[in-house]
Amino acid sequence: MVGFQRISESVVILSILYILSCKSGVESYNVVLSANFGDGSHYIAMRAIGEGLAKRGHNVTFLVAEGFPHQTRHHEDSGLFHFERFRLPGLKENLEDAYDRLGYLTLANQKNNGEIFKVMDTFKTLNKDACSAMFKDNALMERLAAFDAFVFNIIWPCAVYVKSYLELHKDVEDIPLVALSNTGLNPYILWEAASPFFPSFQPSPMSKLSPKMTFFERLRNTLTYLSFICSFWRTVLSEPFNDLIDEYDLDPDLRVTMSNHVDLYLINTDFSIDFPFAIMPSVIPVGGLTARPAKALDNDLEEFMESSGDYGVVVFSLGSYLSTVTTTRPEMMKMFLNAFERIPQKVIIQSKKGLSHDLPQNVKLLKWLPLNDLLGHPKTRLLVYHGGASGLFEAVYHGVPLVVMPVGGDQCDFSVKVVSKGIGVQLDKDNLTAEIIYERVTEVLGQPAYSASSIRISAILKNRPMTAGDTSAFWIEHVIKHGGEYLRPSSYDMPFYQLYLIDVFLFLFAFIFIVSWLSFRCLKKCFRKKSSVKPKKE
Ligand SMILES: *[C@@H]1O[C@H](CO)[C@@H](O)[C@H](O)[C@H]1NC(C)=O
Ligand SMILES: *[C@@H]1O[C@H](CO)[C@@H](O)[C@H](O)[C@H]1NC(C)=O
């Protein structure tokens, strides 16, 4: 017995030594992740990258705004990561207010573009003010100068300006910078990465098109693509931060492009669900950062799931910012409840605010859903939702079919994919009745083909060498070690007409034209000679 204990003790010590020796072989880097302000799906996606980096032995710090509840839902995070905070009074309240207004406007019966633009302006101002707040915090900037790399979400590109500041004014040498885009496929990122985008077969965001397009659809797609690039530049990237460039004397090229500063682009794409397209080597597809094996649910929820018997459970969520639907569109919520009341399944509904009317027997209402864990539960049969990026990947990862009701932004793009891949059906928010909802829900629940397609795509998505978080961590480490310069195509240094071969084609056309013209002249001359000879003979 004692001998056995000795052996097992030495095995443990040996293993520890082995692990330590492995760890010390890898250099540990200090990486800062800017997860926007620190809550919501952007934080959860960035968190997967943070976990991947921590697993590889790196020291991960999250840059968040004070007052955001990033740790309350993820208590384990404070053990895993460090946190740096910046302060902008009122940010959380103003942001929540803007999201509520946007939720209200997008769900409203009548389109009000003027109001929507106003909300967009609010987001723009908040993004700019939050970045200014960072610049004003000199101690924070000094601490940021000590990091080996920055990873930021493209929705809030403040890190690019911080990097420029540190390099120009704090004597910091080239800091590797990695951009993450975790919404739908964003052509602006591909543009910055000099990665080609062909509107001939790549549906542009918000076009509601699939890859097979008629002439007029291609025309519409091209125009949508160009206006997307312009408006993304104007409202999200670059333009909102132009004042900072003057105020802090930053790299003036940032007015036009951030590509001189970014080494790597992580994009939320996986070809199991996305239509195929070409990408440059600096663009790494990391689709489904938030999709992962399900964790156990809490007892209360687990009991509810089990009580559904063989019928299983339907999950209904319009995401956190639309979950005000109960108060903004009570009649819409009522339609969903009337439809759900008629199905034998149990239903879990997310809503931030309570309901004014009674819930049907089979429905449970929650303020917040552990969506990935619910979708991974064996009792879950269907997700009814608004078409956000993370939800789609989580559903597909767990092989769950969908009913999608897109309400705006990139959601209609996902809806097109869901329908064309045969993993679900669509609801039109402007043409909704309890009967239509009931029909769509029972159609997907009743036909095994939808769930079979989702299970097939799930197998493709899972059949990859590393998870999306580990892939991201691997590539971040790679550009810290080797830089991203060698990934840059020379197309960055070419003028437009050279890149698109306009000069070459013009030359070829001119050449063909001249040769044809000369041959024509020649033939004409010969012919004339012949015909002028002929009459003489006769
Ligand atoms: C990890 O990063 C934090 C900054 O967030 C820093 O205070 C700490 O010293 C770092 N740890 C190591 C081992 O470098
Ligand atoms: C509304 O949906 C119903 C059922 O799918 C369909 O028959 C009808 O044409 C739609 N109406 C409009 C205006 O799209």
* pTM as predicted: 0.88
Q: How remote is the CA of residue 33 from the centroid of ligand 1, in Å?
A: 13
Q: Are strands 313-317 and 82-86 parallel, antiparallel or unpaired?
A: unpaired
Tell whether ligand 2 has an atom less than 6 A from the beta carbon of residue 436. Answer: yes
What is the side-by-side strand order in the sheet with 59-65? 82-86, 59-65, 30-34, 149-153, 177-181, 264-267, 283-285
Q: For residue 484, what is the DSSP state?
A: S
Dist. CA 316–CA 403, nearest whole Å: 9
Tell whether ligand 1 has an atom less than 6 A from the beta carbon of residue 61. Answer: yes
Dist. CA 386–CA 205, nearest whole Å: 16
Mean pLDDT by 10 residues, the chain (538 residues): 48 45 67 85 90 95 81 64 90 87 79 83 91 93 94 93 93 92 88 93 90 95 92 79 92 90 95 93 95 94 95 90 70 90 94 75 89 96 93 96 90 92 94 95 96 97 95 97 93 92 96 95 84 56
Tell whether ligand 2 has an atom less than 6 A from the beta carbon of residue 431. Answer: yes
Of 406, 417, 412, residue with least CA distance to 454: 417
DSSP letters along 502-535, please? HHHHHHHHHHHHHHHHHHHHHHHHHHHHHHHHHH
Q: Are strands 264-267 and 380-385 parallel, antiparallel or unpaired?
A: unpaired
Q: What is the per-residue pLDDT for 69?
A: 63
- Give the position, in ligand 1's atom list, of the atom nearest the Cα of 61: 5
Dist. CA 98–CA 104, nearest whole Å: 10
Dist. CA 144–CA 142, nearest whole Å: 5
Q: Assign residue 288 a region: left if phi > 0, alpha if psi is -120 to 50, beta otherwise?
A: left
Number of CB atoms found within 10 A of residue 306's CB:
13
Dist. CA 289–CA 49, nearest whole Å: 8
In this structure, which residue's CA is closest to atom 12 in ligand 2?
A: 431
In this structure, which residue's CA is closest to atom 11 in ligand 2?
A: 431
Q: With H, G, I as helix, E, B as strand and everything else as coil, classify residue 184.
A: coil
Dist. CA 195–CA 189, nearest whole Å: 8
Q: What is the per-residue pLDDT for 19?
A: 47
Q: Which domains does the chain have, with CATH numbers?
A: 27-288+476-491 (3.40.50.2000), 299-462 (3.40.50.2000)
Q: Are strands 283-285 and 264-267 parallel, antiparallel or unpaired?
A: parallel
Dist. CA 40–CA 322, nearest whole Å: 13
Tell whether ligand 1 has an atom less than 6 A from the beta carbon of residue 140. Answer: no
Dist. CA 364–CA 346, nearest whole Å: 8
Query: Do the Cβ atoms of 62 and 50 come closer than 8 Å?
Result: yes
Dist. CA 15–CA 114, nearest whole Å: 64
Residues in the chain: 538
Q: Which residues contact 503 (CB under 8 A, 6 or more apart)?
A: 497
Closest ligand to residue 430's CA? 2
Q: What are the start-end ranges of the E strands in 332-398?
A: 346-350, 363-366, 380-385
Q: Which residues contact 492 (CB under 8 A, 6 or more apart)?
A: 194, 259
Rg of the Cα trace of the chain? 28
Q: What is the per-residue pLDDT for 185?
A: 82
Give the orientation angle of helix 411-420 with respect to helix 389-397, to 10 degrees: 30
- CA–chain centroid gap for 359, Å, is 34
- Identity of the residue numbered 60: V
Q: How remote is the CA of residue 47 from the centroid of ligand 1, in Å?
A: 18
Q: How remote is the CA of residue 87 from the centroid of ligand 1, in Å?
A: 21
Q: Which residues contact 147 (CB under 8 A, 6 or more apart)?
A: 30, 31, 32, 61, 175
Dist. CA 382–CA 312, nearest whole Å: 9
Q: How remote is the CA of residue 457 from the centroid of ligand 2, in Å?
A: 30
